[in-house]
Amino acid sequence: MHLLQCGYRIYVGKIDNKEIDFVADKNGLKIYVQVCLQITDQTTSSREFGNLMMINDNYLKYVITLNDLIIGNDYLGIKQMNLLEFLLLEL
């Protein structure tokens, strides 16, 4: 809902058999968003960040969680944020 309220068109992305939770487009600019309740292990981290790392463009990429940051706020150019932080962004 936040992305819609910010004026984005939203759709689900597909790369091979992988899924990107939200691809948001506004005036030709895109952002990619993966949403995960918590990242508590390497398997979950690899899944959430790995899907975004398969995208070969320079648009913003986010992994949104409810837990605190456990790997920092940036991983290979992908921003990890708590949901509340993301909702406060001006996109």
8 Å CB contact between 29 and 59: yes
| For residues 33-49, average pLDDT | 90
72 pLDDT tier (thresholds 50, 70, 90): low
Token pair 């992994």 in the structure block, residue? 63
> pTM for the full model?
0.89
67 pLDDT tier (thresholds 50, 70, 90): confident
CA 74 to chain centre: 12
On whether the 2-88 domain is CATH 3.40.1350.10, my answer is yes
Q: Tell whether the model's pLDDT for residue 69 goes beyond 60.
A: no
